[in-house]
Amino acid sequence: MKIIVPTLAKDVTEATITLWLVKEGDVVAVGQDIVEMATDKATFTMPSPGAGTLKKIERPEGETVKVGETIGELS
């Protein structure tokens, strides 16, 4: 299952990954906080879209990502 940057606001097209709260190989539950991103004057903590193991972090901390972009993958 892909971890995709959600829509944070109607007029937001990108965000910056500020903190991964889990690392590759970690087992995560659905709804568990997994990654934090920042836009404008806000941070947003994203819950896991599913249960599984974090197979790959595709976009590390500090990178700017677009809404709808895949930033990681669960197996």
The residues that touch another protein, with contacts defined as CB under 8 A, are: 7-12, 16, 18-19, 33, 36, 38-45, 47
Distance of CA 11 to the CA centre of its chain: 19
Q: Taking the complex as a whole, how short is the minimal distance between the CB of residue 58 and another protein, in angstroms?
A: 20
Q: Taking the complex as a whole, how short is the minimal distance between the CB of residue 40 and another protein, in angstroms?
A: 6
Q: Taking the complex as a whole, how short is the minimal distance between the CB of residue 14 and another protein, in angstroms?
A: 13
The residue (of 33 and 56) whose beta carbon lies closer to another protein is 33
Strand locations in the chain, DSSP E?
2-4, 14-20, 27-28, 33-39, 42-47, 52-57, 64-66, 70-74
The residue (of 45 and 56) whose beta carbon lies closer to another protein is 45
